[in-house]
Amino acid sequence: MATAAPKTPSPEIRSQIVASATKFFSRFGFHKTTMEEIARNIHKAKGLIYYYFRSKEELFNEVLRAELQAVKDELLVIVRSPDDAIHKITEYIRTRYELLNRAVNYHETLKADFFEKYHFVKDVRDDFDAFEQEQLTRIIREGSEDGYLQLRSIEPTVNVAMMIIKSIDIPLFLQDKYAEYEQTIVELLTMITRSFQNQRKE
Amino acid sequence: MATAAPKTPSPEIRSQIVASATKFFSRFGFHKTTMEEIARNIHKAKGLIYYYFRSKEELFNEVLRAELQAVKDELLVIVRSPDDAIHKITEYIRTRYELLNRAVNYHETLKADFFEKYHFVKDVRDDFDAFEQEQLTRIIREGSEDGYLQLRSIEPTVNVAMMIIKSIDIPLFLQDKYAEYEQTIVELLTMITRSFQNQRKE
DNA sequence: TATTTGACCAATAAACGAATTTGGTCAATT
DNA sequence: AATTGACCAAATTCGTTTATTGGTCAAATA
């Protein structure tokens, strides 16, 4: 969805723009960043950005997409590792919070939810949610098939996990409670591990 | 902390004021409610309110305190019931969400957290948090002593529970996801129950 | 032809001051 | 002791002006 304006003429310039935009969006946010300064920073005219991107919103989308793609990539390493499901799940959640804690553009869209703005960013966020749902389902299903986890059904478990994980995002990233909650999250992971171990077959 | 101005002259008038204030605060929120309309509603002069309350903030505090006290009272019925710990915990959480979902003045202070305002309401909110911490600890400890629950230690369990419960408050009450999450919360409670049952002694 | 520019415009936001509202006080009244 | 209503300072709202900014495009460049 939402591809660039023409056929991406010069990839170098395009990525220069994205790099510059990332720098400013990350530091000042969407509204306090101007297209003018994004362009000036790479010694180009503002009009040029519109040769590569349809709008400021599309450019922000690109930045956000890249930010979340980096998180996805790192999480996939964990999901695809040969470890057991319990280890994967705890590592996934722990790493997820650690990485997202630094994803400031994602934070901004989280906050925007409260003002019911930033509709233009919905696709990227939905995509990330779908990714997470998929990965958690995969981990839990595999652990279940290996007989490592014993669950009555997978879907409700994933739903609950998603609800909790996403809910905690808000105090964590919008209210800066990462430091405060970090230890409790570790305790939560320990509890999950123990809970699964007690339910393990054999 | 923060008692009324004189020695509460006429309790009837005082509670009329609180009732009127509750009505307006609940419908229009703290800022869009004026002292004038609170007074006019009970056919009194605005100045009279200041004979019973120091300030608008103190009056709001009173309203919020009453709102949360009602929730506490209902929750205490559950905590003090003769049921087992698992039943108590699931009922506690389910009822808690149901009651708080209607506590609109509490919602407003929740939202205020994001704007770092409403400092004057901190005491009442902290009190409610302490209440919850206490009740959960009690339920879990009793369940633990009865051998009904088997936990390595109580404190981290309560911490995790509090973190999760309070985190979910935000999407639930500020983003109006109560309807959306209601079923998932039921699933969560089922999972908790099952988890405890699997760990039960004997 | 493929890029890049910069002047230009409409729309949004910021700045500003005037007018209004509102929280809070208090001397007078009941 | 309880209640009022006029009064004030501070905050908020409102309307207007000014400045900024997202976006366009014809012309220039390479």
Q: In strand C, which positions have an atom below 7 A from any protein CB?
A: 2-7, 21-27
Task: Give the CA angle between residues B98, A125, B164 to the nearest 5°.
Answer: 35
Q: What is the CA radius of gyration of chain B?
A: 20
Please tell me the distance in Å from A162's CA to the nearest CA on chain B.
10
Cβ under 8 Å to B: A residues 127-156: 152, 156
> What is the model's pLDDT at position B118?
82
- Please state, in angstroms and rounded to a whole number, the distance separating the CA atoms of residues B178 and A83: 37
Which tokens is B122 given?
A: 């901190």
Q: Crossing angle of helices A85-100/A178-199, nearest 10°?
A: 170
Query: B22-60, pLDDT tens digit by residue?
Result: 999 999 999 999 999 999 999 999 999 999 999 999 999
> What is the model's pLDDT at position B10?
79
Mean of per-residue pLDDT scores for chain A: 90
Say what the alpha-carbon torsion angle A16, A20, A21, A23 is, to the nearest 10 degrees: 140
Average pLDDT over residues A7-32: 92
> What is the model's pLDDT at position A3?
33
Is the pLDDT at B174 greater than 50, yes or no?
yes
Please tell me the distance in Å from B90's CA to the nearest CA on chain A.
15
CA nearest neighbour of B16 among B37, B41, B33, B36: B41
Which residues of B fall within a CB distance of 8 Å from A157?
191
CA nearest neighbour of A59 among A1, A17, A10, A7: A17
Determine what percent of chain A falls in helix, strand and coil, rounding each to the nearest 5.
75, 0, 25
Q: Minimum mean pLDDT among A10-14, A16-20, A49-53: which range? A: A10-14
Cβ under 8 Å to A: B residues 1-20: none
Instruction: Please count the helices (runs of H) and the strands (runs of E) in chain B.
Output: 9, 0
A175 lies within 8 A of chain B by CB:
yes
CA nearest neighbour of B10 among B39, B52, B49: B52
Please tell me the distance in Å from B23's CA to the nearest CA on chain A.
25
Which residues of B fall within a CB distance of 8 Å from A164?
164, 167-168, 188
> What is the model's pLDDT at position B51?
97
CB pairs under 8 A between A and B: 70
Query: A152-176, pLDDT tens digit by residue?
Result: 899 999 999 999 999 999 999 988 9
Query: B65-119, pLDDT tens digit by residue?
Result: 999 999 999 999 999 999 999 999 999 999 999 999 999 999 999 888 666 678 8
Q: Crossing angle of helices A122-145/A85-100, nearest 10°?
A: 160
Q: Which of A159, A167, A199 sits opposite B167 (nearest CB)?
A: A167
- Please state, in angstroms and rounded to a whole number, the distance separating the CA atoms of residues A32 and A193: 44
